[in-house]
Structure 1
């Protein structure tokens, strides 16, 4: 059975009407809304139950569980929000299943996770936890586990790759570019991201986007900004050294420029969201007929546009490419648009006939996508990836 069939079987049982399926989705969302304010306690309960019922799973996680708990909850929220969107949810779950192979996840671990998840939600739902709610969550988790496990079992490629740090350049106190040479080229698509494990933070993985398109020599360039409470990002910026060995997980994400599309392209990037944009533009330069592309690069000040010079230089040699800098606070910045990326991009119009890609922090993505939808940009024209934080 394929992951698509599993999803259909779980959310739309044979004989179940569209109305009944919608009811299941509503039950999941409304019950999640009740426990969401207590996500910290829910996360602790989940892992305590998991490690009690399946103690062998403890070795799959870092010593410090704070970051891991937040990742679990972000993933849960994402799945809950997409549970009635199988065309979006299934590819996400398949990528997640392939990615989890790097942890050494076994078939029986899915059962332990399901038990812990249902226990955690039930414990914090109180009287709202009814047989109907339990059934909806059990089926929803069956969808998640089924799609992930099916994809993981079907994957024949490596669970992870080794890479050696061959370059580390500090661009500021909180920013660095790090170049990694992998043991063999990773078959990723420009715009995708990978997870990395470093010697400074063993078993604590961080998602990073390569700033270059795939190359035969296996070189990967990463842009890393140290974020508040970012255990991994701060260690990477301050303490990565040439010669360090990284472990790199399978590529994930849906950011790409469809080669079959005839539409012009709009790219919007904030902060280190510049990295996947650079990879996408490098990939476009290899195409015989790149689409007309406009790129808005934004930051609070001009200094935040740390790689603008390289992108502007690229535009000089490619007539199909325009780069527009955007700054929020630096009114003296000559040649830049002023305001937030959401303000400036929608000031230019609805972009309804463009393929749109948005890269940056979760808050920047939310603000920009929301404003574009209000301005009239069709949702199915916008691509973005949600997991961009430490």
Structure 2
């Protein structure tokens, strides 16, 4: 699915805002995930042994940054190439990791919503249906690629 130049610009602008305070936005992101799916806490090694989302956790911040950045890059790739292209070894690793820890399709939906709501809360009045559509499409394509890698990994394990 091709995205417009304007959608790419909107995503890049919002990514610049997110980068200004990743620690704060990563906490918001994980709080939203835990509000909707408290059981997902056990999927994250850096949250498993805590009763609440730890402030200033470098692992949490690093993971949130990866999610935000990969989604942003996915939008840019959709604009430039018409598809999300991630190095095969990286995709296999992501698929294997998500499969190993028990991520389900529902978890991808929860993360999608948390991502969009976090960005919406971060950019405030700059939020628009077009920005939401661009981030959502980028995330959907990235999630589909990870899910495909998970299925390939499960099939390889079954054989």
Q: TM-score, normalised by structure 2?
A: 0.76
Q: Which residue of 1 aligns with 2:23?
A: 40
Match of 1:109 in 2: 107
Give the aligned partner of residue 148 of structure 2: 150
SS, match of residue 103 in structure 2: coil
> Structure 2 CA distance, aligned partners of 1:129 and 1:42?
16
What SS does the corresponding residue of 2:21 show, helix, strand or coil?
helix
- Unaligned residue ranges in structure 1 (runs of 5+): 1-8, 13-19, 159-390
Return the offset for 1:78. 4.2
Q: Distance in 2 between matches of 1:95 and 1:116?
A: 23
1:29 aligns with 2:21: no
CA distances 1:172-218 after superposition (whole Å, capped 9, x unpaired): xxxxxxxxxxxxxxxxxxxxxxxxxxxxxxxxxxxxxxxxxxxxxxx
1:136 to 92, 112, 134: 134
Is residue 69 of structure 1 aligned with residue 53 of structure 2?
A: no
| RMSD over aligned Cα atoms | 2.4
Higher helix fraction (1 or 2): 2
Q: TM-score, normalised by structure 1?
A: 0.33
- Deviation track 1:111-139 (CA, whole Å, cap 9, x = no partner) reads 11111111111111111111111111111
Hey, what's the Cα distance between the residues in 2 that align with 1:70 and 1:129? Answer: 24
Change (3 A) 1:152 1:48: same
Are 1:80 and 2:80 matched, yes or no? no
Offset from partner CA, 1:243-297 (integer Å, 9 cap, x none) = xxxxxxxxxxxxxxxxxxxxxxxxxxxxxxxxxxxxxxxxxxxxxxxxxxxxxxx
Matched, 1:56 2:48: no
Q: Give the whole-Å Cα distance in 2 for the aligned partners of 1:26 and 1:153.
A: 33
Deviation at 1:151, TM superposition (A): 1.7
SS at match of 1:98: helix
Secondary structure of the equivalent of 2:99?
Answer: helix
1:121–1:87 Cα change, 3 Å:
closer
The structure with the greater share of residues assigned to strand is: 1
1:89 aligns with 2:76: no
Instruction: Please list the CA deviations of residues 305-340 of structure 1 after superposition, one character each: whole Å capped at 9, or x if unmatched.
Output: xxxxxxxxxxxxxxxxxxxxxxxxxxxxxxxxxxxx
Distance 2:42 2:84 in 1: 34
The correspondence of residues 1-390 of structure 1 with structure 2, limited to 5 A, is 9=1, 12=2, 20-62=3-45, 63=49, 66=57, 67-81=59-73, 83-84=76-77, 86=83, 88-89=85-86, 91=88, 92-155=90-153, 156-158=155-157
Unmatched tracts of structure 2, length 5 or more: none
- Quick check: 1:79–1:89 contact (8 Å CA) kept in 2? no
For 1:69 and 1:116, the matched residues in 2 are separated by: 15
Q: What is the aligned length?
A: 142
**2: CA distance between counterparts of 1:55 and 1:87?**
30
